[in-house]
Structure 1
Amino acid sequence: MIIKSVPREAVLIVNAHSRRGEALFEQAKEKLQAAGVTLLAAHAVHDPEKLTDVVRQAVRDGAPMVIVGGGDGSLSGTVDDLVGKDCVFAVLPLGTANSFARTLGLPLDLDGAIKAIATGQRRRIDLGLIDNDYFVNAAALGLSPMIGESVPHSLKKYLGRLGYLIWAVWCFLSFRPFRLIIDDGTQEYRMWATEVRIFNGRFHGGVELTENTDVDSGDIVIQAVTGRNRARLALDWYAKFFKLRSRDAHTQDFRGKSLKLDTRPHHHISIDGELLARTPVTVSIAARAIDVVVPLRNAQLNRLSQSFFPSGRNEADAGSQKCGPGI
């Protein structure tokens, strides 16, 4: 397998409004350059609504790679301008749940994420589509958008995932089930549901909610927590968080290239944490849409090591030989 090289020049764009963005912007600049990444420009964006414009301009200016720091909403809102462009997308996970970074296998600490960018490889991935809006990881309707729409920013900023959990319990008490309609082009399915997740990746809210898809699977997955009993939703999150054997007992999955989704009553849809759509919608996949940076896999690191040491010696063995400087 040929490992495509990651560009050594990039534009850094950080959502300074995200939970850790403002505090870590200067550190990110210094550590990226120390790791051998030449920054053509660096922007701390304090108004989240301007983030997309800054990324768009960087792509138009010919940046070989854009490094976006922020939460899942920041990342999802910027990918549209990379589709069809020869520009690599790299991620600094500076948000609360960092579900997309988890799906890509990226370290969640700043040093680890920068190391992955400096030493990683490209991976061609799919993007999800809700009508004409691209998203990187997951969307949801039901309780999750209700939480995302109403959670106080200060609670999210200072308590992180714990803040989400506290607010989720509060919202859970007033939430009501709804009717779900899914059309896969050959059959229409109707059921009661308490939550619906739309997956391009595996994680949502920082929890792995599906093991049956990935960002290069070539299809989209709709997962419904079925039934009218709200306790089933709590049990589903509990089982999936702790990876119990019963973790799929309360959900039903629908998979395809394109699916129509509607609800009664109509519901807002949270796309990677941001309320951006409302049922009815068409959910589809944009296969192999962009290049992202991911860590090198262990097997690939081993192959690289063997290419440097064809006789089978490892780097430590080579360093013990007095035959010149090590590699």
Structure 2
Amino acid sequence: MKKYQRAMLIYNGNAGQGDLEKTLSACVPTLLAHLPHLLILQTTEKNEAKKLCEQYGEEMDLVIVLGGDGTLHECVNGLANLEKRPVIALLPGGTCNDFSRALGMSQNLKKAAEEILSGEVVPVDVMQVNEDFFLNFWGIGLVAETSTNIDDAEKALWGKMSYYLSAIRTIRQMDPFYYSIQCDGERIEGEAVMILVANGNFIGAKGLPFKGISYDDGMANLFIIKNTNLTLLKELLLTDVTADDDSLANEVMHFCGQELIVETDSPMTADTDGEVYMKTPAIIKAKKHHLRMIKPVVEISQINVLA
């Protein structure tokens, strides 16, 4: 077990895990038993997690993020520009917890806390978009409109299912848009209903049906969805098909690159790790192994079962 002398736990008091006292009691005692100096800080305001990471990050060996994808997004943006960056660990405290799923972390808080203490540190890419950073995905078109159209009351009631309901509503009114993209200098242009740049392979707690996505290969995965309909949406969200299947191959283009320049006819709203605050144009650069994160150690017995 790696020893961390100074650790910080940032938790979002507004995230989607219900009873805050119950949430903390499920994981904090496990952490306190093995972390000699643990600073625990609660956030209640937008960008507070980012500011705390900027303020304390270089003093820490480990930063533990208890919250959803939005809290993680803030923390990444607070840590990515530091010269001395701590190890990052994730506790699932939000609605979807997409990047914790990409790392293979348990979605049970107590088990996830145990995995943090026994897990291995691995290098992880981060994507820089203009002056900000994202860890999981950046997208325009259907993915951004879906996030914008989520009903807060519906999200509180249905959790991650609210994303699927919003997608079904949004797709009925989604028109194609013109794009021009340079991928490592190669120009790609045309019309699409969604452009997605992925570093992780989960969105809305659902594994993406695209092969080849890796968070440690130094590449940005670009997916261009040319057209869509309810049948395609169902395949993307509810089945296990991949973009290599005939049903999707004609609708999805896949490219990999270290630098992407994305332009649209007029500025379009972008969804960045579930947060909607950016617009096109966008310059996206893959920063290989820029962060270090904890993932569970896969036991030999588990490997044999998976094989």
- Counterpart for residue 223 of structure 1: 223
| TM-superposed deviation, 1:138 | 0.9
SS at match of 1:75: helix
Query: Greater shift after overlay, 201-210 or 118-127?
Result: 201-210
| TM-superposed deviation, 1:88 | 0.8
The letter for the 1-side match of 2:14 is H
Partners of 1:58 and 1:66 within 8 A in 2: no
TM norm structure 2:
0.87
| TM-superposed deviation, 1:73 | 1.7
CA distance in 2, matches of 1:150, 1:242: 25
Q: String of CA shifts for 1:157-179, please: whole Å, max 9, x gaps.
A: 33111122222222222222212
Over the aligned positions, Cα root-mean-square deviation in angstroms equals: 2.4
CA distance in 2, matches of 1:42, 1:134: 24
Partners of 1:73 and 1:271 within 8 A in 2: no
- Counterpart for residue 308 of structure 1: none
The one of 37, 46, 49 equivalent to 2:47 is 49
- Equivalent runs, 1:147-186 vs 2, <5 Å: 147-186=146-185
TM norm structure 1:
0.82
| TM-superposed deviation, 1:41 | 1.4
Partners of 2:206 and 2:237 within 8 A in 1: no
- Counterpart for residue 205 of structure 1: 204
Shift in alpha-carbon separation, 1:253–1:11, aligned structure 2, 3 A? same
The letter for the 1-side match of 2:13 is A
Q: String of CA shifts for 1:110-158, please: whole Å, max 9, x gaps.
A: 1221111010011111101111211111111112211222323332233
CA distance in 1, matches of 2:70, 2:87: 18
Partners of 1:102 and 1:203 within 8 A in 2: yes
Shift in alpha-carbon separation, 1:166–1:301, aligned structure 2, 3 A? closer
The letter for the 2-side match of 1:74 is T
The letter for the 2-side match of 1:221 is N
- Equivalent runs, 1:1-327 vs 2, <5 Å: 5=2, 7=4, 9-20=6-17, 23=20, 24-34=23-33, 36-60=34-58, 62-83=59-80, 84-209=83-208, 210-227=210-227, 229-231=228-230, 233-238=232-237, 241-243=239-241, 245-246=245-246, 248-249=248-249, 250-299=251-300
CA distance in 2, matches of 1:169, 1:142: 14
Give ranges in structure 2 of 5+ residues lacking alignment.
none
CA distance in 2, matches of 1:204, 1:238: 10
What number of residue pairs does the alignment pair up? Answer: 295
Shift in alpha-carbon separation, 1:26–1:181, aligned structure 2, 3 A? same
CA distance in 2, matches of 1:52, 1:140: 22
The letter for the 2-side match of 1:101 is S
CA distance in 2, matches of 1:6, 1:296: 16
SS at match of 2:193: strand
The letter for the 2-side match of 1:198 is V
Partners of 1:194 and 1:233 within 8 A in 2: no
SS at match of 1:30: helix
CA distance in 1, matches of 2:85, 2:75: 15
Shift in alpha-carbon separation, 1:115–1:8, aligned structure 2, 3 A? farther
CA distance in 2, matches of 1:291, 1:49: 22
4+ runs deviating over 6 angstroms? none
- Counterpart for residue 314 of structure 1: none
| TM-superposed deviation, 1:217 | 0.8
CA distance in 2, matches of 1:233, 1:179: 20
| TM-superposed deviation, 1:267 | 1.3
- Counterpart for residue 317 of structure 1: none
